Structure 1
Amino acid sequence: MVKYSPTSTKSLILITGPSRSGKSEWAETLAIRSGKPVFYLATAQVDLNDTEWQARIEQHQLRRPANWQTLCEPVNLAATIAAYSANHCLLVDSLGTWVANLLEEDNETWDQTSQELIIILQQATGDLILVAEETGWGIVPAYKSGRLFRDRLGMLVRRIGAIANPVYLVTGGYVLNLCQLGSPLPQPTT
């Protein structure tokens, strides 16, 4: 069994894996184990015309304990993270949705936005759990926006993985602590 026991007042955890792998459930388990009041930061944008999307959002909502506070922030992730207290656990679900929400940003603006997030994550003072999708394990998307999304999310997850500990991969019904099993690559330069 994978255990989570914070060794200080600060914990930056990254959970990644494929769709429907249990990433969010593992993040929720870790948030409960933190013993702190939990803020659930949802990056999804509600679309009442998309019933399948609404069902997914409702599934997540029903799983969460009633005493958790939900924050909905599809764009200003860094500022929202910066505003939370060290006495809380902040669960961000998900980075992939956040990247998709900002896909229209030009490369220079995206570089600034993602760098601002990395700086805020390094300065965070409480428990912070980030959920991120793995999108690059399949074919290269045939359309430009798909490739842009995959590349931006992949690089962001790599950059966060370099500063997070632990980093979990959830796949095939298992949770793997990559910090214990793997060797880190050098921090990416871009």
Structure 2
Amino acid sequence: MTRENEGAAILVTGPARSGKSEWAERLAHESGRPVIYVATAREDPDDADWMARIEAHRRRRPAHWSTLCAPAELEAAITTAGAGDVCLLIDSLGTWVANLIELDDAVWQARSERLLAALEQCPTARVILVAEETGWGVIPAYPIGRLFRDRLGGLVRRLGPRCSATYLVTGGHALDLRRLGVPIDR
């Protein structure tokens, strides 16, 4: 990977268990920069499965990568940690959205705008964002599921055009949507 578009973000999206985190980790490694892994997950010692998933991510990361936990204040973490010649790997936007799901619409919109502004204020950092694709199945039967799907889908759609690369990872393969796709005018 070259250092062109040095501060531009990269979006890695796809369904569960598709390999998107592994692809993002590869991109971070190839950046040649010190990597700060920005974890959005909240630990829950009462949920063994969730803790095993978090631990699997930890084991995959090189020991020399730094970790910054930002389950709610992602915007501030990006602004603070992204001030230099580093690579921020944010995993994942879906978890961040879930952590803020109880915000009313106006507050959510303000937080989304702050996130986008924080990304634009990282002119030298490489930022890699991992996001889940949730809208490929049936419409969720419950209001909270629809709200999550709509908020995450809307955020990902707004991020894609702002990124230097947007990858769809599915079936263990990464597709560069900026090269293969046609942008939809908004």
TM-score bracket relative to the smaller structure? over 0.9
Tell me if 1:39 matches 2:36.
yes
- Provide structure 1 residue ranges, at least 5 long, that are not aligned to the other structure: none
Change (3 A) 1:169 1:128: same
CA distance in 2, matches of 1:9, 1:19: 29
Question: Counterparts in 2 of 1:87-126, with a 5 A limit?
Answer: 87-125=85-123, 126=125
Amino acid at match of 2:108: W
CA distance in 1, matches of 2:100, 2:78: 17
SS in 2 for 1:170: strand
TM-score, length of structure 1 as denominator length: 0.95
Tell me if 1:49 matches 2:39.
no
The alignment yields a C-alpha RMSD, in angstroms, of 0.9
CA offset digits 1:82-137 (Å, max 9, x no partner):
11232110000000000000000000000000011111112212100000000000
The alpha carbon displacement at 1:5 in A equals 2.3
SS in 2 for 1:152: helix
Tell me if 1:21 matches 2:15.
no
CA distance in 1, matches of 2:143, 2:184: 27
The alpha carbon displacement at 1:172 in A equals 1.3
Amino acid at match of 1:186: D
Q: Which residue of 2 aligns with 1:135?
A: 134
Amino acid at match of 1:74: P
CA offset digits 1:118-171 (Å, max 9, x no partner):
111122121000000000000000000000000000000000001011000000
Runs of 4+, deviation exceeding 4 Å: none
Tell me if 1:5 matches 2:2.
yes
Amino acid at match of 1:110: W
Q: Which residue of 1 aligns with 2:170?
A: 171
Q: Is the 8 A contact 1:10 1:86 kept in 2?
A: no
Aligned-residue sequence identity (percent) comes to 55
TM-score, length of structure 2 as denominator length: 0.97
Residues matched between the structures, number: 184
SS in 2 for 1:159: helix
CA distance in 2, matches of 1:51, 1:115: 34
Q: Is the 8 A contact 1:45 1:74 kept in 2?
A: yes
